[in-house]
Structure 1
Amino acid sequence: MGEERFYLYDDVEDTKTRFVSFMGEEERFDLAITTTTRHYGKHLVLDMQSNRFAIIGTDDLEEPGYLEKAFQLNTKNAAELKDFLYEVI
């Protein structure tokens, strides 16, 4: 226990989190969307149903397959999530 811990950063920041739940045609989404000054204006999006999260901006929404991979969704469910995120980010 004699070693000092080496921190890369240790910051405290006030954030805003929106909790939203909606039902798509096949899947329910329970999201926590955190707005912060970190991550170059992107949002931290947590899907509480799947225990997955991603740092998302509009550029990521335009990236083919991004939501499918990040949240392990099929194309149809990813499209529903993408439509919603375009409205709120």
Structure 2
Amino acid sequence: MSDRFFLYDDTIQAKTRFVSFMGEEQRHDLALLYSDNHYGKVIIMDMQSNRFAIIGPDDLKEEGYLEFAFGISEEKAAELLDFLSEIIY
């Protein structure tokens, strides 16, 4: 068996925030993982769909990004964008 080649293998301290809110279109259950990795972006995990994305302010400005990343409709993405715009800046 060959030696495993790691690009990195770090153990870090991270802050996790769990948020659940009801929008007009659906309920959103999210885990937000904050760390010094990923150039200041936040890992957003949708606990209902088991999908996640690494999101920063630049990603929120990208048209269609939330729809693609989380596999949701424009209406649901608009609700999510409204919330994420308040906490990611």
Q: Matches of residues 7-46 of structure 1 in structure 2 within 5 Å?
A: 7-46=6-45
Q: Matches of residues 1-89 of structure 1 in structure 2 within 5 Å?
A: 2-89=1-88
Which ranges in structure 1 are unaligned for 5 or more consecutive residues?
Answer: none
The one-letter code of the counterpart of 1:28 is R
TM superposition shift of 1:33: 0.3
Work out the CA distance in 1 between the residues paired with 2:22 and 2:49: 14
Which ranges in structure 2 are unaligned for 5 or more consecutive residues?
Answer: none
Q: Please, what TM-score do these two structures have when normalized by structure 2?
A: 0.95
After TM superposition, which residue ranges in structure 1, 4 or more long, deviate above 2 angstroms?
none
Work out the CA distance in 1 between the residues paired with 2:3 and 2:72: 42
CA deviation profile, 1:16-74 (whole Å, cap 9, x unmatched): 00000001112111000000111110000000000000000010000000000000111
- Counting matched residue pairs gives 88
Report SS of the residue matched to 2:9.
Answer: coil
Work out the CA distance in 1 between the residues paired with 2:3 and 2:76: 46
